[in-house]
Structure 1
Amino acid sequence: MLNHLAALLLGIIEGITEFLPISSTGHLLIAERWLGHRSDLFNVSIQAGAILAVVLIYRQRLWQLATQFFTEHASREYAWKLAVAFGVTATLGLALKRGGFQLPETVTPIAWALLIGAVWMVAAEYFAGRRAAVLGERTTITWTVAILVGLAQVVAGVFPGTSRSATTIFVALLAGTTSRAAATEFAFLVGIPTMFAATGYELIEVVGTGEAAHEDWSALAVAFVASAVTAFVAVRWLLHYIQNHRFTVFAVYRVALGIALLMLVPAGS
């Protein structure tokens, strides 16, 4: 029972933090210190639960891209840009995974990533705002933006605390997509194949090594559902919020959390 309650709490944390620019990985690593460490399959699967929420929210957009791929140039080009961004992430991410690259999952680097990410967010939004004032609101996703978003996903994946959503959204804003809504949509849509592929990769590894026999599948299911439901609410709220607000509040939260972690948690733990 306690194990399922812990799984429920982890699913809720994942759902809330996956798409808000405050780092889901960082929050999960911190939460696991008190709720118990989970397998890579568990962590990636509940991320897939959050991605499922995005599929539901953007289902009409996804249907449009699918049905107009062969008949409408703009939809076809947008879909190819999503594919390119995913391809960059998949290629580099797989290379890093097979090369054994992994940073220490301790609190101190997460705290610094939260702080540095907060500065990055404020600076990026400031300069993106200045570009928007000169160029006007640009919703176009260029090929450069697509490639940089793919690279940004890799960076966020190997630096816990960075935040995939924050990194990809602000890279898109700095690279020329001055519309927050357009940058956010592309960042979220490219996360769909990225996280589903990561879940599939981890599942194959777990099945291949026999670790699946030790996985608590009922607890994973609880966390998956909790993540999907809370992510749906969080993303709907975020999409409404960014229509009239900047991302500053998230930067303030990151600074507060980062400082608290540095002050309260022993270094190297």
Structure 2
Amino acid sequence: MDSLYAIILGIVEGITEFLPISSTGHLIVAGELLRGMQAHPWSKDMRDAFEVIIQGGAILAVLVYYWKDFLKIGTIGRDPTQRKLWTSVLVGCIPAVILGALFGSKIKHFLFTPSVVAWALIVGGVLIWLVESRKVTPTVHRIEEITPVKALGIGAVQCLALLWPGFSRSASSILGGMMLGLDRPAATQLSFYLGFITLGGASLLDLIKSRHVLGEIGAVNMLLGIGVSFVVAYLSIGWLLRFVSTNNFKPFAIYRVIVGVILLVLIAAGVLSNGNMA
């Protein structure tokens, strides 16, 4: 059952990490379903550590998918376009780094509950619908055109995901990008880049803190989870980029509201505990 648990959560993480639908909310639902089927063999510390581990697989998928772009980092000393791009990406990460360092543990302690996540899904879905309903012509069509000032604004909006668990980091960064003039493909690609850095750093710190339970999870389960998460996330990245090239995000808005309502119903019915998950 350990391996089955690792594979299922790896699939959930890979699908949801970069789509604007909140991996947190979906991992909660998956965990509760597995617990109901008595297929939830690990302690809370093990589950928390494993979620960080499989997040690493999704982060690796970004690196592999955009490996040619990441290799260009070596040219920033002589290529002003690359220097501007990666300066903007780093600037966009600053708000989340500062907010996470100052308030991350408190936010997780007080707000990390299923009901908070459910309302974040619903409100986020409504905001996605409203942003997509505007009649605005994007002014930025390539990620290389993003300025540090725009990136800082997008990074500030990205902090919604930190302040409100379940809002979704990808949803907040994509929304921020679209509100500041990026078209959907550019906003989505920037979200991947921001996620690679912010999630990578946060995951590394969390993994160091959780190292005492890694032996209990087991190397096979960790490799299974990372591998499944990597493959599914890689496929999800490609699918999302193709999707946004010809579609808007309204289907995700509808989906978020439905999942949020389901969570609230499960809480009200007593099927899902509303206790703190931190």
TM-score (structure 1 length as normaliser): 0.88
Shift of residue 56 of structure 1? Answer: 1.1
Shift of residue 206 of structure 1? Answer: 2.5
Q: Which residue in 1 is equivalent to 2:21? A: 22
Q: In structure 2, what is the Cα distance between the partners aligned to 1:256 and 1:100?
A: 25
Q: CA 1:206 to 1:259, structure 2 compared with 1: closer, same or farther past 3 Å?
A: closer
Larger mean CA deviation between 227-236 and 86-95 belongs to: 86-95
Q: Which residue in 2 is equivalent to 1:46? A: 54
Q: Which residue in 1 is equivalent to 2:242? A: 240
Q: In structure 1, what is the Cα distance between the partners aligned to 2:94 and 2:153?
A: 12
Q: CA 1:40 to 1:184, structure 2 compared with 1: closer, same or farther past 3 Å?
A: same
Deviations 1:116-140 (A, max 9, x none): 111110111223xx221xx655443
* Equivalent residue letter for 1:43: E
Q: CA 1:248 to 1:228, structure 2 compared with 1: closer, same or farther past 3 Å?
A: same
What fraction of aligned residue pairs are identical, expressed as a percent?
A: 33
Shift of residue 163 of structure 1? Answer: 1.1
Shift of residue 213 of structure 1? Answer: 4.2
Shift of residue 105 of structure 1? Answer: 3.4
Shift of residue 20 of structure 1? Answer: 1.0
Contact 2:99 2:159 in 1 (8 A): yes
Deviations 1:16-40 (A, max 9, x none): 0111111111111221123335433
TM-score (structure 2 length as normaliser): 0.86
Q: Which residue in 1 is equivalent to 2:203? A: 199
* Equivalent residue letter for 2:190: F
Contact 2:96 2:155 in 1 (8 A): yes
Specify which of 185, 188, 206 is matched with residue 189 of structure 2.
Answer: 185
Unaligned runs of 5+ in 1: none
Unaligned runs of 5+ in 2: 35-39
Give the CA RMSD over aligned residues: 2.1
Shift of residue 240 of structure 1? Answer: 0.6
- Number of residue pairs matched by the alignment: 260
Q: CA 1:260 to 1:204, structure 2 compared with 1: closer, same or farther past 3 Å?
A: closer
Shift of residue 149 of structure 1? Answer: 2.7
Contact 1:40 1:202 in 2 (8 A): no
Q: In structure 2, what is the Cα distance between the partners aligned to 1:211 and 1:192?
A: 25
* Equivalent residue letter for 2:55: Q
Shift of residue 80 of structure 1? Answer: 0.7
Shift of residue 52 of structure 1? Answer: 0.9
